Every structure is written in C-alpha cells, then in structure tokens.
Amino acid sequence: MNLVCAQLVFAVTLWTAGAEAGIVAVCSGTSLLQAEQLSMEAEVRNSSDGSTFRVRRRRFISGKDMTALLDYHNRVRSQVFPPAANMEYMVWDERLAKSAEFWASQCIWEHGPHHFLQHIGQNLSIISGRYKSIIDLVKSWYDERHSFSYPSRCSGSVCTHYTQMVWAASNKIGCAIKKCSDIFVFGSMWKQATLLVCNYAIKGNWVGEAPYKIGRPCSACPSSYGGSCNKNQCDSRPKSRRNTNGFRGYKQ
C-alpha cells in the first residue's frame, strides 16, 4: 500500500455549499474507478433464507447510513424530470465501498486516488459540526438540480454531484464515512470534521453527454433487464428481493 500511496497524483476541483447543522463542503469527480482492479477483503455470503447478507470485516459506515444513502439515491433517480427512459436501479457495491474506505482514511480533502479515478465517479462532502442524518451531507448534491437543464447545461457553479447521482448507467455505489481530527479544507484547518466519500460505477459525467435518455420510465432499459421495471427504474432483481433499501437484512 505504501508504494501505491507514493505514486498518487491528485487532481481536484472543490466547491462549497451551506448546510443547516454545520459547515458543509462538497467535491465531485467526473470519472470512475474500475471495480475489478480492487482487492475484495470482505466476505459476503447468503444466509439460509437467501435474503440476508453478512460482511465479515470492520466497516467505515453503519448499516443504517448505508441504507439511508442508497434509498436517497434511488429516490432521486426515480423522480428525475424530465422522466428517464433508461434509469437503472442502484445497488450497494462492496468493492466500491472498500475503495471509498481507503481514501476516506487518508483524511485528505481531494479526489483520489488518481489512478482509480480513471474508471469511477466520486462525490465528496465534509461537515464541521453536528448533523442529524447522513443525508445532511448529500442534500446539497441534489440541490444542484435547480442549476441543471437537460441535457447537459449547468447555470450554477457546479452540477456534477447531481448528474453523477442520476447518471442512468451508474448503477453501483459504495460509500465510507471518516471522522477526521484535523483536515485542511479551503485554506484552513478543520477540527473534528466528518468526511463522506461515495464512489460510483460505471463511469458517469461524460462531457457533453446527457445523464439519461428522456422518455416513458423503463421504455429504454438495457436488454439485460429483460423489460423489468420497478419504481420508474430498470430493475432485474426478483420481486421477492425488491424492497425500500435494496439490501434487506444487511448485517455487519
């Protein structure tokens, strides 16, 4: 791992946004990481009833926060306007979560690692002070919709957090949360800050491209979904596994 860290070259663009319960800053990447290149240290296995998953390693994020983030993303994706014809249902990905954990552990307010960012999308948020819910750290991403005009126009300072959230083919997400005692943000040292890193696959935010196709929901789903639709999203999961959080019974 030391060799990898020594080879990192960081490219970062930073933006700020206000938050109700503290000072929040956000940062988004426009390219994504190749999950196949990550080492998977977690063992995920089905329980006897086929609906419960157990991850046998220490996490950087609670099951409650995982559920909240995944639910929020799928709710945002299902309610885009104009409506999407090819919006894919988003699921939690352990390899993306593992890569987010590695980067969050560095407590650096930049995108990274650079060589992973060739293949993954990444949204960052940081808050100094108390917050009621993990969603407080990502609401500003969604608020960027007010500056976004389909297919690819942005009238504000940034829209790429929002467009990454609703990029139709970005159907996997993995996030990590890290408490940083000291982290340098916008020219000053923040104390006891909470850093959120969310990684996405496949690659989104291609310059000049629309995040999704306009049309009747699920009318242009990839063929791999077999025409299956759930809450305005292409969803090939068996109906017995469809639920509000996307991974019922997920345990640490």
* Sign of the CA dihedral running 170, 180, 178, 24: negative
What is the mean pLDDT of the segment spanning 28-53? Answer: 38
Q: Which residue has the higher pLDDT, 100 or 51?
A: 100
CA dist 55 and 41 (Å) reads: 10
Domains of the chain are 63-234 (3.40.33.10)
CA dist 234 and 78 (Å) reads: 10
Buried b (16+ CB within 10 A) or exposed e, 64-89: ebbbbbbbbbbebbbebeebbbbbbb
Q: Which of 237, 209, 196, 206 is nearest to 90 (CA)?
A: 237
Beta bridge partners of 198: 123, 175
What is the mean pLDDT of the segment spanning 16-37? Answer: 44
Is the pTM for the entire model greater than 0.85?
no
CA dist 115 and 4 (Å) reads: 10
Least confident window among 46-50, 107-111, 146-150, 175-179: 46-50
CA dist 101 and 60 (Å) reads: 6
Strand order in the sheet with 121-128: 15-19, 22-28, 121-128, 188-201, 172-185, 91-92
How far apart, in Å, are the Cα atoms of 223 and each of 80, 152, 227, 229? 22, 25, 7, 12
Residue 14 has pLDDT above 60, yes or no: no
Q: What is the pLDDT of residues 225-249, one digit of tens each?
A: 999 999 999 999 887 777 644 433 2
What is the mean pLDDT of the segment spanning 103-128? Answer: 94
